[in-house]
Structure 1
Amino acid sequence: MKIAILGYGRMGKTIEQIAINRNHEVVYKTSEKINTEALQKADIAIDFSIPDAAFENITTCFQNNIPVVSGTTGWLNRYDEAVKLCKKHESAFIYASNFSLGVNLFFQLNENLARLMNKFEDYKVGVEEIHHTKKLDKPSGTAITLTESILKNSNKQNWKLTDASETVAENEVPVIAKREDDVKGTHTVKYSSTIDDIEIKHTAHSREGFALGAVIAAEWLCNKKGVFTMKDVLGF
C-alpha cells in the first residue's frame, strides 16, 4: 500500500515508521498545502494535521480519488460537509477521534456503562482528560466522543467544559481538560455517589497505539467506498 501522510509531526513520523514496518511505502509526506501531483502517487492518505488544515486536506483527497483516514480533531463543525463531499466524489473516509485499539475498546465499555448507569440517578457522571501542553484542541476529541456516547445513552442533554470547582446543571456532563508536560493521553469516566465511585480509565503510554490503529484502519479502508468508523474496522 502506498501512503500519503498529511501532517508530518510527531504522530506523522510514528505512523511512517509503523507503516514501513508493516511493509507499506510512504510516497508523500507534508505539513504544508497539498501538492496534488505528489498526492496522486498514493493509494490512501492518513491525515494527522492541525484543525485549520484538516478539512482542506481531507476534501482535496476526495477530489483526487484518494481515500482518507483522519485522526485530526478540532474541526468537526465541518464533518457533515466532508461526508457529503466524500459521497459526491464516491471516495472513502474514516474519521476517529482516537485510533488506538485500546481506546476503541474503552469507547465500547463507556457506552455499555452509560446505558447501565442511566437507571441509577444517585450517581453523577463526569469526564476528565489529560494531555501534553502542545495539544491544540480542548477538550480532546476522545473526551468529546466519550461524552457524546454518555449523552446518547442517558438522560443528560449537554456537556460543559469546566473545572473541578464549578457546578454544572443537572442535565449536563462536566468535562475537565488538563494540560501537563509529556502526557500521551489519559481519559477517565467517573460515576460518583455519596456512597461510592465507579470509574473507568484509559492511559496511553506512547503514540504507537494511535499510529498502529490508523495504519490498520488504512489497510481496511483501501479499495473501499463509503464513510466508516473504527467500529466497522474492528467489527464491533
Structure 2
Amino acid sequence: MKISINGKGRISMFLKWFFINFTNFKICKINKKPFCIIDFSSPISFFRILKHYNSPILSGTTGLKKKHFDLIIKKKNPIIYSPNFNIDFFNFISYFSKIEILEEVHNKKKIDSPSGTSIFINNILNISKFYSIRIKNFSGNHKLIFENFFNKTIFEHRSKNIGAFLKGIIKSIFFIIKKKYGYFSIKEIL
C-alpha cells in the first residue's frame, strides 16, 4: 500500500523511518495518488493538502484554525484529525472531568505552545490554569492537577518516545482508507 508522509518534524521523520524499515507500506510522493496521506506539518501545508488532494488524510498537525476545520467538513474525501494519536493518552484523559491545572512539557523543538493536545484537553475539561514548558530532548508529558488549600493531587501521562503514537496512527490508516468520505476524530478509532 502506498502512503505519503507530509512534514519535516520529528514525528514525520520517525514515521518515514518506521514505515520504510518495519512495514510493507511504500512511501511515495504526495502527487503519486497514495492510498493515504499522513500529515504532521504546518497549518499552511495542511491547508494546501486539503485544497488539492482527494486521498484519505490522517493529520496530527496542530495550530489549526476554524477555516481549516470548515474546509475539512466540506471535503468529500475521508479525513481523520487528532492533535494526539497516542491511544493510551486518550484512555488516561477519559477518567477526568474537573481538572483545575494542566501542565505540559514537550521537546523545545516543538513549534506550537500550547500543544494541540493541551488545547484539546482544555476544550473538554475547561481548565482554569495552564502551563506550557519546552525542554531539550523531551518527548511529551501532560499533568492534570487537582489542587485546593489542603491538597494537591497530580495525574501524569508521559510518552516515553514518539513511538507511542504508532498504534494510533497505524489503526487510523486502516480505518480511514475504508471510508468513502467524512470527517473523523481519534474517538472513532478507540
Tell me the TM-score normalized by structure 2.
0.90
Aligned length: 188
Q: Is 1:66 aligned to 2:41, yes or no?
A: no
Number of the residue aligned with 1:23: 24
Distance 1:60 1:198 in 2: 48
Distance 1:147 1:9 in 2: 24
Tell me the TM-score normalized by structure 1.
0.73
| 1:176–1:76 Cα change, 3 Å | same
Letter in 2 for 1:202: H
8 A contact 2:73–2:183 mirrored in 1: no
Distance 2:105 2:51 in 1: 30
Instruction: Give me the CA root mean square deviation.
Output: 1.8
Percent of paired sites with the same residue: 27
Number of the residue aligned with 2:155: 200
8 A contact 1:190–1:199 mirrored in 2: yes
How far did residue 188 of structure 1 move?
0.8
Cα deviation per residue 1:31-76 (whole Å; 9 max; x = unaligned)? xxx6x3x3x2x11100011233222223322xxx201000010123
Cα deviation per residue 1:114-162 (whole Å; 9 max; x = unaligned)? 1xx4xxxxxx7011111111111110011111111103xxxxxxx6xxx
Unaligned segments of structure 2, at least 5 residues: none
How far did residue 195 of structure 1 move?
1.9
How far did residue 27 of structure 1 move?
1.7
Off by >6 Å, runs of 4+ in structure 1: none
| 1:150–1:23 Cα change, 3 Å | same
Distance 1:232 1:125 in 2: 27
Number of the residue aligned with 2:48: 56
Distance 2:170 2:52 in 1: 20
Number of the residue aligned with 2:71: 82
How far did residue 232 of structure 1 move?
0.5
SS at match of 2:80: strand
How far did residue 212 of structure 1 move?
3.7
Number of the residue aligned with 1:167: none
Question: Which has more radius of gyration?
Answer: 1
Distance 2:15 2:166 in 1: 5
Distance 2:78 2:138 in 1: 32
Structure 1 segment 1-236 matched on structure 2, within 5 A: 1-20=1-20, 21-28=22-29, 36=31, 38=32, 40=33, 42-61=34-53, 65-86=54-75, 90-109=76-95, 113-114=96-97, 117=98, 125-151=100-126, 173-224=128-179, 225-234=181-190
Cα deviation per residue 1:68-96 (whole Å; 9 max; x = unaligned)? 0000101233233222332xxx2101110
Letter in 1 for 2:90: N
Letter in 2 for 1:19: F
Distance 1:229 1:4 in 2: 20
